[in-house]
Amino acid sequence: MQARILLLTVFAMIAFAANSLLGRLGLVDGGIGAGSFALIRLVSGGVVLALIAGPLRSLNAGSWAGAVTLLIYAALFSYAYIALPAGTGALILFALVQITMVGAGLCEGERLSLLQWTGLIAAILALIWLLSPGLDTPPLLASAAMAIAGIGWGAYSLIGRDTKCPDPDPTRRTAGNFLRASLIAIIIFPFVFAAYPEPVPATYGVLLAIASGAITSGLGYVIWYSALRALSATKAGIAQLTVPAIAALGGVIFLSEPISFRFMMASTLILAGVGVATLSRARAKTD
């Protein structure tokens, strides 16, 4: 049983990291625009998740708030990967997801320990250092887009954590959110394409977008939810710490992306700081 959970967790983390690789590959070499990639990813992910969870039940699951935050994440994720390396994008995304969730805890009255504050501040300062001017600084606009995508994903995670949600099945909720986000995207993306025209997507790019939606997003979430039932919050958090590292390694192997000393140092500090901030025990909430 433990070996099965370990394998499920490993496969899920690889799938999440592969999203960055597929996005980067599709947008750089796949002949597909960012808007088209995001739209196809959402639709294909929604279809696969709905088939797994049940189409009729999925249509009634999820929420419009979850759909909007999911769309923000998916759209800005795609636009950011026009210019960001896979590992850098995953690192910024992951850091902002966790910082958003810690910030939400603070707004709800949670009190961080001194160790958690130290980790959080260290992670933020390391992220600022990574994005500060220099020869190997990632593009600022793309970094900002990925940061907002991370905030969107963090907000989506917080909405999904709502215990008042009428449907307890996370796969159905995710399917419903993907379907709702797809509907919103289908309505608004024609206006986006009119303002920022994109060429007709190449077949290779379309296939990469479908793979990102159907396999590494849709099936990836199903695998992750299967593993999550047997994982503590700490173990789940530790597992997610590996995603940026896996994405960076995949970028080197499959995309020939270099890893600079600055990225290695900043990523070590960010992941260590985020790990301390999110995995350490928090103090009791204030009244």
Q: What is the pLDDT of residues 81-123, one digit of tens each?
A: 999 999 999 999 999 998 898 888 888 887 888 888 898 899 9
User: Range with the lowest mean pLDDT among 19-28, 135-144, 158-167?
Assistant: 158-167
Distance of alpha carbon 131 from alpha carbon 13, whole angstroms: 25
Distance of alpha carbon 36 from alpha carbon 128, whole angstroms: 31
Average pLDDT over residues 158-185: 83
Question: Is pLDDT at 166 greater than 60 in this prediction?
Answer: no
pLDDT at residue 202 in the model: 96
CA distances, 30 to each of 36, 215, 230 (Å): 12, 17, 38
Give the start-to-end residue ranges of the domains of the chain. 2-279
- Residue 111 pairs with which residues in a beta bridge? 283
pTM: 0.89
Question: pLDDT digit string (tens) for 133-155?
Answer: 776 788 999 999 999 999 999 99
Q: Mention every residue, 6+ apart, whose C-beta is less than 8 A from residue 72.
A: 148, 149, 151, 152, 155
